[in-house]
Amino acid sequence: MDVLKQILIIILAICFVVFVTFFGRLPALKNTPMAWLHKLIWVYIPNAVLRIDQTLTSGRVTGSLAWLYRRLMYDRHPTIVIFFLLIMTVSEYMYLPAVLPRISLLAQSTALVTVLMPYVFLYLACSADPGYITRENHAYHMSLYPYDYALFHPGNECRTCRFLKPPRSKHCDICKRCIARADHHCVFINSCVGYGNHHWFLLLLLSTCILVTYGGLLGLCLLTAKIREDYPTFTLWPARDMDFHRYLAIWGWGLHGDIRMGASTLLALLTAPLIWALFLYTLFLVYCGTTTNESMKWTDYKEDMRDGYAFWRPLAPDRPRNRRLEPPCPRWPSSPEHIILTTQDAQPPSQERNFAGQGEWEHVWDLNDVDNIYDMGFLHNLGDIFFSNYTFGDGTGEPLTERRPRGRSISAKSGYPQ
């Protein structure tokens, strides 16, 4: 029983740290205990250890650990992918021989398909072009999305790649390339998630969710059936007349009786909430018509608005456009109505800079007042991720000067801290 407790504590601790690491910096959790825990684990404790190490070894130990961390997290290499594969393959090597003989042929087929799908989607997510922008395809990516004149303004050049930044793109310091519709760099696929592989990444998350849920529940059912052979009155939930310590002792006996399947089942059940949370958050961003990169930018905008540093003014629908800097986007049915800028001194942008728009600059105080032109509704957003050159079927035939914003307000879906 002591061994079981130690295994449980270790797995729970790892899952907790991973959960805080991935979700503690999300905009929706800012100013919450989760964000504070993230700072505690990744800022306050490391700083305290650094001060101690500076006193004892002049920083040699923490310097080596920092180098290793940067190497693992900020260099492109397959270490994390291999680690992810090892976790899956070792767990399945322990789990499948104990489970397959006990289930029907149909269940065996279902289990094997469930096991294979994450490997297929992991390969596709890793090997697919995430949306690298090159000189050859630059014009294509410039015409995929319109500039929203808030997060993305025409005329900005990537100082590394030396070409104009297409709307919704971002330069990845790890991949050393600009990525079209960049979401984030994912160490688990050793690549960025962007225009070319976002759909494979979603399917990888979904298939992994199904794998750990199916495997955990199936293992739980088989372990319960085995325990009932010796304890016929045993139920999955403790009966009212059963002492909780006795309930745990019976579970411990059952797990020790088949430690390979028991350990794999425990791992699946304890990691399932983490993977489901990541998948649901990613799906929520799709619902919002935004990316991880854009959600971070909107969070910064929200703080600037709250502090009075953000301004906007109308954009004329028939304004003259420089087609080299702002090429037409015939497939997109929406265009911005305002330009939004921030300043360092809380004063309106200088008229001498000749920014786009007309009229006087006014403060914009709330994201609820801002339209996200990239949000076309959940199904259209999903279609835009899964199909290249997705057409929306309405509005794209209108002249550009007659198109109006169709997206919903940025914070209407509570995707950002209020």
Chain centroid offset of residue 363 CA: 32
Q: How many alpha carbons fall within 13 Å on the CB side of residue 408?
A: 13
Residue 55 has pLDDT above 90, yes or no: no
d(CA 373, CA 364): 17
**pLDDT score recorded for residue 385:** 96
Q: Which residue has the higher pLDDT, 132 or 226?
A: 132
Catalytic residue (choose from 161, 172, 178, 186): 186
| Confidence band of 405 (pLDDT split at 50, 70, 90) | very low
pTM of the entire structure?
Answer: 0.85
**pLDDT score recorded for residue 397:** 46
Residue 417 has pLDDT above 80, yes or no: no
* DSSP structural state of residue 69: H
Residue 75 has pLDDT above 90, yes or no: no
391-401: b (≥16 Cβ within 10 Å) or e: ebeebeeeeee
Paired strand residues for 157: 164
Cβ partners under 8 Å of residue 327, min gap 6: 139, 142, 143
Q: What is the mean pLDDT of residues 330-341?
A: 91
Q: What is the mean pLDDT of residues 357-368?
A: 90
Q: Which amino acid is at 247?
A: Y
Which parts of 181-328 are beta strand (E)?
184-186, 191-193, 310-314
Rounded to 5°, angle at Cα 78 from 73 and 80:
55
Contact (CB, 8 A) for 381 and 407: no
Q: In the structure encoding, which two tokens stand for residue 404, read together?
A: 């109006």
- In terms of DSSP bridges, do strands 338-342 and 362-363 run parallel, antiparallel, or are they unpaired? unpaired
Choose the weakest-confidence range: 140-144, 271-275, 317-321, 346-350: 317-321
Which parts of 223-299 are beta strand (E)?
none
Residue 164 has pLDDT above 90, yes or no: yes
Domain map of the chain by residue range? 1-75, 77-131+181-288, 292-402
d(CA 52, CA 57): 8
186 is catalytic: yes
Residue 412 has pLDDT above 70, yes or no: no
Residue 311 has pLDDT above 70, yes or no: yes
Q: In the structure encoding, which two tokens stand for residue 47, read together?
A: 């700083």
- Per residue in 19-44, pLDDT (tens digit) is 787 777 776 677 788 888 888 888 88
3-state secondary structure of 83: helix
- Per residue in 371-392, pLDDT (tens digit) is 899 999 999 999 999 998 898 8
pLDDT more than 90, % of the chain: 50
| Confidence band of 411 (pLDDT split at 50, 70, 90) | low
3-state secondary structure of 307: helix
The top-scoring range by mean pLDDT among 230-239, 285-294, 327-336, 405-414 is 285-294
Question: Quick one: CA torsion of 21, 26, 30, 32, rounded to 10 degrees?
Answer: -50
Q: In the structure encoding, which two tokens stand for residue 235, read together?
A: 């139920």
d(CA 150, CA 167): 11
Contact (CB, 8 A) for 188 and 109: no
d(CA 268, CA 219): 9
- Per residue in 235-273, pLDDT (tens digit) is 777 777 777 777 777 777 777 778 888 888 888 988 899
